[in-house]
Structure 1
Amino acid sequence: MFDVETVQVNGAPVRSYVHAPPSLREIWLSSAGHDQADYLVYDDERYSYAEAHQRVAAIAQWLHRQGVKQGDRVAIAMRNYPEWMLSYWAVTSMGAVAIGMNAWWVAKEMHYALADSAPKALICDEERLNTFASIRSDFSQLCVSAVRLEQAAPDWVTEWSEVLATSAELPEVSIAPDDDACIFYTSGTTGRPKGARLTHRGCVNNLLNVAFINTVQQLALSRAGNIDATEAQSSPPSSLVVTPLFHVTANNCVAQATTLAGGKLVHMYKWDAERAMQLIEREQVTTFNAVPMMVREMLIHPKVADYDLSSIKTLGGGGAAVQPDLVDKINQMDGAASPNTGYGLTETCGIIAALSSVFFSNKPESVGPALPTFEAKCVDPLGEALAPGEIGELWVRGAPVIKGYLNRPEATAEAITEGWLHTGDIAYMDEDGFIFLVDRAKDMVLRGGENVYCSEVENALFEHDAVAECAVFAVPDERLGEEVGAALYLKPGQELSAQQLRDHCALRLAAYKVPRYLWLLEEPLPRNASGKFLKRQLRESLAVAEAC
């Protein structure tokens, strides 16, 4: 099942699964056999696989009738409603390209992504429709449909009921493995998001990597006598989806993997620890993969003992380090829950490495070994491979690595060398091939699983006429891992409050990027000999208690 071969992709030799289906279309079609089994659950709504297939075909047919052809792009902008995954499967199964729009974007950010990706259609919810309405004059030819409207739709919007009433017939297409499947935007060091081009080959290989790590670790536990052999052959998973579907964690690693296994996806309107526990108990959730702060909030909740969480088999996730004390808390839970961690990037269609159960407890500071379709190495500044134990930038190569960045050939060339992706993460590998992350080479804040590139926030702050100098950096945060901090020096004679600065940023950035901690300094910021701000010195010298 997990035979690997070397194939040529974009001129580079990469590892790929021999038996990988050519596209996500085959993955979706293969799930039809689950028929009346639950697939999507949201509040009191419940959709079977059969109902989902009927709706996916109708959405695809409606898009086809609007002139969307193979290779065209369709933007999806909404909360984690069931319609997100239905739209995603419709778009990718008809050979079009899904554009995952960040649901937190303000109008300026949405405008940039729409202009960059040039979609033929937009499927959105009411909140995102209102945002789009303010910029629609620049996209008047865009075909728009909206879901879950409480107000009457404008005449340029197609009601979702009309979309679902379309003939449920999936257009016939032949999709090549290296065709684009979707484009997910990842914040760029230049301050502008980059559209990562995820291919069908990359997404399918990520799915099989997820299947591989789950299968192999379960078999290993069985052979070691840690679990019964019958437990290793578990029933289809029930997964709680708590992170955004416009990211690879929720979409590629949770939603797609659960679909492949014939499992159930349980959606939430927004994160709430007690609501999550209610859903775990009600839906007998077996898999909970989230950013660590969500797991922590649930396990320390004052009402945690009021709910039966014993159905959970794996608990953890990625997007930030799973702290050792959190591993201990998971191990102490009632039931069979085991801790797990995963490491990956948008640029790798999902996970690069993963680790769970006793294997994770044995090496809690590691993210695991690279999965079968990856080569991994740590390199020095010249790109030369380092020996085990030596620290350098982690490079990976394999089928899941993206094709590149949309409309950004220079950024693509900078990030990928002969198929090797420069992850921007500083790491070392031990003698067993396990990867240990040490630091990040990229100048960014990892806030609750969301990447916030410092330059993007700095660019927004510098747009204020009163700001002379600013430096943005990460501030440790118990709940989110890191928060956005900014030190500023104003132009002489200028006065500005912290709230005015936040209001200024809120018009230009998604809410999670707006600095929580602000220091308004009376002296210019410290610099090194080349004129760069000394961010480390600022982080170490500025007290959180003194921030505005």
Structure 2
Amino acid sequence: MNLAQYLENSARNYPNKTAVRFEGQEVTFQELDIACNRMAQGLSGVGLGPGDRCVVMMPNGIEQITVYYALAKLGAALVLVNFLFRMHELEHILTDSKPKAFIGSEPYLEEIRKVLNKGEGPSIRIALGIKHDQDFKDLENVYSDKKEFSTYPADDNDTLNIIYTSGTTGVPKGVMLTHKNLARTAKILAEMRGSIDPKTVIIGALPLYHVYGITSVMNVSMYLGLTIKLFPLFEPERVIEVIEEEEQTIFFGVPTMLNRLIQLASENPPKRASLRFCISGGASLPVEFLKRFEALFKTEIHEGYGLSEAPVCVENPYGKVTKPGSIGLPIPEFSARIVDNNGNDVRQGEVGELLIKGPGVMKGYLNRPEETRETIKDGWLYTGDIARMDEDHYIYIVDRKKELVIRGGYNVYPREIEEVLYQIPDILEAAVFGVPHEDLGEEVAAVLFLKEGAQTDTKAIQEYVKERVAPYKYPRIIKIVKEPFPKTGSGKILKKEVKKQYSSLE
């Protein structure tokens, strides 16, 4: 099936219901579906067809959602790109994906212009918000007058999204997700979360070029016919306003977003809390964040897990036990294993690499058959995450395989130390990693960003951690910085960049 059928179904079932609210604009499901048909017809008219690739580099907005489902209807593949990417990142993506078209938006065209001015890139170039521009065709002029469009009958294996990994472990790779990957995952997530009141509003603060936002905010909402209150970017004050104003809401976020909401709500408690539940993903959620958030907003957080290669595949269940610190159980139709370095299942409670199997596992990496074979074996996706499973089969992420610190022969998992650090109220952001040590091989270091007016210091922090972990684990090196950490577009801390900046700590 074609993923766009979810929008078409909701347009038939709830034609006059608001699909998206964004910055004073509203569009119903029927209006959105017609806009997508007109856009698909127009894109076909400029030369795009089934199987063609189109780079989409747009911020959140109704137009971005329209472009997404129009390209899906057309049978084209979207190469989704962060609108803040720089020239060299864009050069790599365009060289690797070889797109036929580019669709972007002002004021985020400067970097792509540098690439295009070198004579590289796609021949079809479209942008929103431009006037009399020789380099781009105005997106508003692409819409056809025809309100009907025959949606392409996509095969299960047809690629719909190509999403480049953030490159935390090397050169970014293009993850190919099919119509089946995205449609099945959205349907499973929508149905496993129980009966949701049709009046429920989905708070869309995640970027819709990221697989988390695409899956949980956009595709699930289209399947269920729920209204999305979409934001151009995450603004905690505005999110709390929506939580106070609406009857029922659901919020999807990452730990850094939750922490910002905690800080704000601690100073000014919400007048009322409409959150039916909250989903945390994108990075490991410190248990202390979970406790504070649930107390302040009188709701329940369901921590989940996914990655570009398998969007949302594990989640704390609904109507059953949720375990703080755990990412939960494999969602329906998915399976999980924990294995050692030889690929053998470890005993219950032991740590190993997390493997995932299910209908959401990617088709593969674009142009990288060997890396695809190394990552997917017998249908099992090797995630690169170290995890353990308890007696109830709940999964706990211990750390990234490549972030393990080996200090004098002892394994130290940075996430464990970060969990302890986040128990200190003055700490807003923490990154723990290993730095070279002549005698021990590696030493444990922590870089911290504190809240404004914090009273603590490095000695007090070190003593706090020292009292709570084994002697070889606490950070001997602590650096307090004055600026927040660099993050991905989805708000995930770029630990690789933090480590690179402070790798010479002693």
Match of 2:65 in 1: 85
In 1: Cα distance, 2:432 partner to 2:396 partner: 25
1:394 to 350, 354, 372: 354
Residue identity matched to 1:329: R
Residue identity matched to 1:353: V
Does residue 1:289 correspond to 2:255, yes or no? no
1:197 positional shift: 0.3
Matches within 5 A, 1:112-261: 112-136=92-116, 137-139=118-120, 141-149=122-130, 152-188=131-167, 191-215=170-194, 232=195, 234-261=197-224
Residue identity matched to 1:35: P
Match of 1:57 in 2: 37
Closer, same or farther: CA 159–484 of 1 in aligned 2, 3 Å: farther
Matches within 5 A, 1:394-413: 394-413=354-373
Match of 1:372 in 2: 332
Does residue 1:76 correspond to 2:56, yes or no? yes
Match of 1:66 in 2: 46
Does residue 1:382 correspond to 2:382, yes or no? no
Does residue 1:351 correspond to 2:312, yes or no? yes
Match of 1:419 in 2: 379
Match of 2:236 in 1: 273
Does residue 1:301 correspond to 2:282, yes or no? no
Bigger mean CA offset, 280-289 vs 389-398: 280-289
In 1: Cα distance, 2:75 partner to 2:393 partner: 37
Closer, same or farther: CA 368–538 of 1 in aligned 2, 3 Å: closer
Match of 1:338 in 2: 300
Closer, same or farther: CA 333–302 of 1 in aligned 2, 3 Å: closer
Bigger mean CA offset, 244-253 vs 152-161: 152-161
1:72 positional shift: 0.7
Contact 2:193-2:318 within 8 A present in 1 as well: no
Closer, same or farther: CA 444–249 of 1 in aligned 2, 3 Å: farther
Identity of aligned residues (%): 28
Does residue 1:40 correspond to 2:2, yes or no? no
Contact 2:192-2:318 within 8 A present in 1 as well: no
Q: Secondary structure at the match of 2:108?
A: helix
Q: How many residues align?
A: 438
Contact 1:292-1:316 within 8 A present in 2 as well: no
In 2: Cα distance, 1:210 partner to 1:239 partner: 14
Residue identity matched to 1:178: N
In 2: Cα distance, 1:47 partner to 1:252 partner: 20
In 2: Cα distance, 1:359 partner to 1:304 partner: 32
In 1: Cα distance, 2:272 partner to 2:104 partner: 34
1:410 positional shift: 1.9
Residue identity matched to 1:139: E
Closer, same or farther: CA 83–428 of 1 in aligned 2, 3 Å: same
1:75 positional shift: 1.2
1:101 positional shift: 0.5
Contact 2:433-2:444 within 8 A present in 1 as well: no
Closer, same or farther: CA 209–77 of 1 in aligned 2, 3 Å: same
Closer, same or farther: CA 535–202 of 1 in aligned 2, 3 Å: farther
Q: Secondary structure at the match of 1:47?
A: strand
Q: Secondary structure at the match of 1:169?
A: coil
Listed as ranges, the gaps of 5+ residues in structure 1 are: 1-21, 216-231, 446-472, 488-524
Closer, same or farther: CA 262–236 of 1 in aligned 2, 3 Å: farther
Q: Secondary structure at the match of 1:128?
A: coil
Contact 2:102-2:125 within 8 A present in 1 as well: yes
Closer, same or farther: CA 189–294 of 1 in aligned 2, 3 Å: closer
Match of 1:543 in 2: 478
In 2: Cα distance, 1:125 partner to 1:260 partner: 27
Closer, same or farther: CA 113–236 of 1 in aligned 2, 3 Å: farther
Q: Secondary structure at the match of 2:313?
A: strand
Residue identity matched to 1:426: I
Q: Secondary structure at the match of 1:134?
A: helix
Contact 2:269-2:296 within 8 A present in 1 as well: no
Does residue 1:26 correspond to 2:21, yes or no? no
Instruction: Encode CA deviations 1:38-57: one digit per residue, 9 max, x unaligned.
Output: 11111111111111111111
1:360 positional shift: 5.4
Residue identity matched to 1:351: V
Contact 2:187-2:223 within 8 A present in 1 as well: no
2:278 to 286, 305, 315: 315
In 2: Cα distance, 1:166 partner to 1:485 partner: 56
Residue identity matched to 1:369: L
Contact 2:99-2:121 within 8 A present in 1 as well: no
Q: Secondary structure at the match of 1:265?
A: strand
Contact 1:98-1:182 within 8 A present in 2 as well: yes
Listed as ranges, the gaps of 5+ residues in structure 2 are: 406-413, 447-474, 482-501
TM-score, normalising length: structure 2: 0.79
1:258 positional shift: 1.1
Q: Secondary structure at the match of 1:332?
A: helix
Contact 1:339-1:357 within 8 A present in 2 as well: no
Instruction: Encode CA deviations 1:133-159: one digit per residue, 9 max, x unaligned.
Output: 11113336421221234xx34123111
In 2: Cα distance, 1:45 partner to 1:413 partner: 46
Q: Secondary structure at the match of 1:123?
A: strand
Bigger mean CA offset, 435-444 vs 170-179: 435-444
Closer, same or farther: CA 68–283 of 1 in aligned 2, 3 Å: farther
Instruction: Encode CA deviations 1:419-464: one digit per residue, 9 max, x unaligned.
Output: 110011111112322111111113499xxxxxxxxxxxxxxxxxxx
TM-score, normalising length: structure 1: 0.74
Residue identity matched to 2:97: S
In 2: Cα distance, 1:55 partner to 1:484 partner: 47
Q: Secondary structure at the match of 2:387?
A: strand
Q: Secondary structure at the match of 1:249?
A: helix
1:110 positional shift: 1.2
Contact 2:279-2:302 within 8 A present in 1 as well: yes
Contact 1:60-1:171 within 8 A present in 2 as well: no
In 1: Cα distance, 2:480 partner to 2:429 partner: 18
Matches within 5 A, 1:434-449: 434-443=394-403
Larger relative CO (CA 8 A, sep 6+): 1 or 2? 1
Task: Give the CA RMSD over aligned residues.
Answer: 2.9
